[in-house]
Amino acid sequence: MNTDLFVDAHPTQCFSCLVVNCAECRSEVIEDKLYIVGTKPKEDKKLCTFEKTDRTNILSSLLQLYERLSEGVYAHPEKLTDADIEEICKWCIAYGMPAEASGDADIWLKYGKVGFLASSFVNRLHDIYTCYLLWRKVYLHDTDIRNFYVEKNISDEQCIEFLKTHMMQLNIKIAPVFSVSPPTFFLMCDDLLEVAKAQMFFECMSTDSYSVGVCATCGAPFPKKRRNNTLCEACQKTKYQRTREKQRMLKSNEQ
């Protein structure tokens, strides 16, 4: 299945979810639980649509966010540092607050606040990152021992079964649109995290090319804009400097 053709066939057939954009974001303890709360909303929650051109931007940004968080925060939100919370808040300001995150509507109903449980966010982020590591092992034939499934020498067959189990928890609804001709539909997700997992799902379905890349220099995930793109944006900017340094070292060794 070529997902590019799948999306091209119906321009509006892409991922959508409700998002609240806030100018500021902070952590707050509510009923003895740590929440990430958005303040100074720019507008009411709105439907955001992620088309082919930016289909994996949310996914890549969340994978990069996970790699910046402290180790061991999965299932242990008390280990989140101030720096971790700052990173999560920066991401929310840049991309938006999940508007309909599962179980997080309570603080809106009780306190009129837009936010989500930090533990829920981190745990779901861990689930997405696990899918990413499994995808790298199975589809990219990853050999990087920093990948848990490579380090433990887990077979591709087992990884595929793990990946299927994770993807069975994906929650996507189909919303038909009859106002256009021919009629089409949106793939509706609960929130931005579900959009990212849906993007990961479609990466697993692709047999043509992938929209997520793994940087050949630093190993970071990044959204691929071209089929032959092998570097993330940061490493692409420093490619010339690295080439010059490599040439300088070669000349020095020759002398």
Residue ranges covered by each domain of the chain: 3-254
Stretch 9-13: mean pLDDT: 43
* Tokens 């990044």 found at: 222
Is the model's pLDDT at 153 over the cut of 90? yes
State pLDDT tens for residues 23-38.
999 999 988 989 999 9
What predicted TM-score, i.e. pTM, was given to this entire model? 0.81
Query: How high is the pLDDT of residue 91?
Result: 95
* Adjacent-strand bridge partners of 16: 49, 188
Is the model's pLDDT at 55 over the cut of 70? no
State pLDDT tens for residues 184-222.
777 888 899 999 998 888 888 775 667 788 888 888 888
**Encoding tokens for residue 137?**
């092992």
Residue 152 sits at the vertex; the CA angle it makes with 155 and 84, to the nearest 5 degrees, is 120
